[in-house]
Amino acid sequence: MGSKSETTKLQKELKMIEISPITRLEGEAKISIFLDDEGNVDDAYFQVIELRGFERFCVGRPVEELPRIVTRICGVCSWAHHMAGSKTIDEIYDVYPEGAARKIRELGYHAHIIHSHLAHFYALAGPDIFLGPDADPVMRNIFGLYQTFKDITKEAIITRIYAQKIQEMIGGTAVHPNCGVPGGVSAPLTKEKKAKIEEYSKAILEFTKKSVALFQDTIEKRKDLSELILGDVYYHKTYYMGLVDDKNKLQLYDGDVRVVSPDGKEVARFKGRDYLEYIAEHVEPWSYLKFPYLKFVGWKGLVDGENSGVYRVNTLARFNVSDGFTTPLAQEAYDALYEYIGEKPAHNTLAFNWARIIEALYASERIVELISDPEIMDKNVRPEVKEIVNHRGVGVVEAPRGTLYHDYIVNDEGLITKLNLVVSTVQNNPGMCMSIKKAAQKLIKNGEISEGILNRVEMAFRAYDPCLACATHSMIGRMPMEVTIYNSENKVVKTLRRTL
Amino acid sequence: MKILIVGLGNPILSDDAIGLHVVRKINKYIQSSPLPKEHQIDIIEESANSLELVEKFLGYDKVVIVDSLKTNKLAVGEIAKLTPKSFEKANTRNVSNPHDVDFYSAIKVLKEIFGKDITGDITIYGIEVRNIHEFGEKLSPELIEKIDIYAKLIMEDIKKSVLK
């Protein structure tokens, strides 16, 4: 290759187009808001295109490959899928990680939680929190945040890199880990890695401590933010679900699934493998996403309250189902959150963001604990595995966005015959739809729709940190979110392509 | 010059993987026809989001990204040459996922933080694709037959800019 004539031939064969700027890329997620005759909100819908064929892709593949394949569902939640997949094959082979193996898995996973939560807290929710929901949209983004709060934004980015390096050291690669094997992990920790992880963990803990203090300080000083968190616009009384240990302390990697009612009573507690006895899925003709609900309460539509089976997962849900944390600093921050909110469960959707940064603090304390434990250096991390023991396995973890279930069925040869994944964003689909509708109804009046108002509607959605169509890493910036407003004659009156 | 070539995409999401296939082919060409040795080329495959992706650019003088593109305005198989600036107004500030910042903002903010360690010389080759909504390992036929051409074109373009 390389001759002039060949290049010319190639160029004739395939024209390279130069387009700058791109004016439109395909959109796959949208919020549709319908107004009545008076210009008030009659209804609002959230829709997203779901990717197809993952189950078909997996059927017939050896089950031990699944923890690596499932990381490709999503570049954001890859660690959560890897851990859920690894726990599922633990059940299939009936061999469970102990000692160093379990600690190494937890270490990588808690680093992932930190990495994910810091991204949301600073880059996505941060501009609304620190610059305000009505700030100039040109500045209301990560770059604007950096311009206004240089030091803390820079530190957030660097701390995320530390968390990512820990994930990389444990998982093989940061984004798509491959360390989970039946009953353990593929390799023990080396002294060099331990030393680096100790250094990064301490720096991460210092930063998350500072972040929690910063948030608390901000809501003390900013009455507008306090009103948004505590007000009715972002308030829904629902059931909540999350993992807890035997003392009801919040857990991310393992535990019992606990469900509490809108008034905080425990209404279910079960092992992950029994999830189908508690969760069912409703289907709506206008949505690709399903609407999971609590079977024992029933589907009553997109409404909140004790008689509706709608439940929520994610950070604040985990707070509501638990009695706090096993680590001291996170526990202190947990108590401060409930003291401020004034009730438990807390039903304030915007407090998901607050709970998120407290959970990052917990994960930071946890990685310091784990790396300081001498047992983590034990070389015995990969037990001998012989044959399939169980033909069904279920793995459950708390993904950054909420409870995640993996359910695999295999044949005698260990090949997948069926699988079911219940992801956290789908479980929050009813909650997100309700939150968007309520915020739209409360904020849009007489057909007046400003950019700031639409941003406040989206804040209801953004608090859930949703992960949509998450395996699609086609062209960077490929999935714009569209907000379309229709009048009472179903004619489009406004369309905005929005920051999320 | 230190050059980073990134194939971006999901290997099991049908046409989304086109960038990965192209950089594998580029790798073969570089083996058989290397650039002068003062130039170092690293080739990686990634499915990362914007911030994680841009963090990988640290320390490189030139970055080349090959990815799938879905504008529905180009014919399937057509290739577009873009720069980060192309995305400034493309989709307001949206991203491949709500849990991420957009590519343009990620470059802008990391450039502010890391200064010249994040190069300004970034080129993106986007290949218009058909199927990115279905899991599978097969590419559309009109892409398979052009992998070789994409790789040659991109390498020619890189050589032109490096050896000028």
The 10s digit of each residue's pLDDT in A103-118 is 999 999 999 999 999 9
Local structure of A477: helix, strand or coil:
coil
A154 contacts in chain B (CB < 8 Å): 113
CA distances from A339 to A121, A176, A264, A342 (A): 21, 39, 16, 5
State the pLDDT at residue B147: 96
DSSP type of residue A272? G
A474·B109 Cβ contact <8 A = no
Query: A122 — contact with chain B (CB < 8 Å)?
Result: no
How many distinct structural domains can be found in chain B?
1
Which neighbouring-strand residues pair with B3? B41, B62
A461 contacts in chain B (CB < 8 Å): 98
Structure tokens at A29: 């997620």
Mean pLDDT of B95-121: 78
Which neighbouring-strand residues pair with B79? A16, B127
> Pairing state of beta strands A402-410 and B122-128?
unpaired
Contact A439, A483 (CB under 8 A): no
Contact A156, B55 (CB under 8 A): no
- CA pair distance A403, A408, nearest whole angstrom: 17
Taking 80 as the threshold, does the pLDDT of residue A367 lie above it? yes
Contact B64, A469 (CB under 8 A): no
State the pLDDT at residue A473: 33
Contact A63, A92 (CB under 8 A): yes
A158 contacts in chain B (CB < 8 Å): 113
Using one digit for the tens of pLDDT, what is the confidence trace for A158-173?
A: 999 999 999 999 998 7
State the pLDDT at residue B50: 80
A15 contacts in chain B (CB < 8 Å): 78
The lowest-confidence range among A40-54, A458-472, A474-488 is A474-488
Q: Please, which residues have CB within 8 angstroms of residue A392's CB and are 6 or more apart in sequence? A: A91, A92, A273, A407, A408, A409, A410
Check whether the bond before A345 is cis (ω within 30° of 0): yes
B69·A477 Cβ contact <8 A = no
Taking 60 as the threshold, does the pLDDT of residue A18 lie above it? no
Taking 70 as the threshold, does the pLDDT of residue A376 lie above it? yes
Closest chain A residue to the Cα of B86, Cα to Cα: A21
Residue of higher predicted confidence among B92 and B96 = B96
Taking 70 as the threshold, does the pLDDT of residue B22 lie above it? yes
Mean pLDDT of A84-111: 98
Among the partner-chain residues B68, B98, B106, the one whose CB lies closest to the CB of A474 is B68
Which residue type sits at A350? L
Taking 50 as the threshold, does the pLDDT of residue A27 lie above it? no
Which neighbouring-strand residues pair with B44? B6
Percent of chain A with pLDDT over 70: 89
Taking 70 as the threshold, does the pLDDT of residue B94 lie above it? no
The lowest-confidence range among A364-373, A388-397, A463-472, B28-37 is A463-472
Using one digit for the tens of pLDDT, what is the confidence trace for A259-268?
A: 999 999 999 9
B158 contacts in chain A (CB < 8 Å): none
Taking 90 as the threshold, does the pLDDT of residue A336 lie above it? yes
Taking 90 as the threshold, does the pLDDT of residue A155 lie above it? yes
Average pLDDT of chain A, as a whole number: 88
Mean pLDDT of A191-217: 97
- CA pair distance A76, B29, nearest whole angstrom: 32
**At B136, which CATH number?**
3.40.50.1450
For an interface test with B, which of A118, A473, A479 has the most B Cβ atoms less than 10 Å from its Cβ? A473
For an interface test with A, which of B97, B107, B138, B157 has the most A Cβ atoms less than 10 Å from its Cβ? B97
Local structure of A405: helix, strand or coil:
strand
Q: Which of residues 440 through 479 in chain A touch B, CB cutoff 8 A?
A: 461-462, 465-479
Among the partner-chain residues B55, B87, B152, the one whose CB lies closest to the CB of A22 is B87
Report which secondary-structure segment, H or E, holds B87: none
Taking the domains of chain A in order of start, what are their residue ranges? 4-51+430-499, 54-429
Determine the topology of domain A54-429 in CATH.
Cytochrome-c3 Hydrogenase; chain B (1.10.645)
State the pLDDT at residue B98: 53
Contact A229, A351 (CB under 8 A): yes
Residue of higher predicted confidence among B104 and A48 = B104
DSSP type of residue A131? I
Domain that holds residue B86: 2-162
Mean pLDDT of A319-327: 98
Instruction: Give the count of Cβ contacts less than 8 A between chain A and B.
Output: 246
A477·B92 Cβ contact <8 A = no
B96·A476 Cβ contact <8 A = yes
State the pLDDT at residue A476: 40
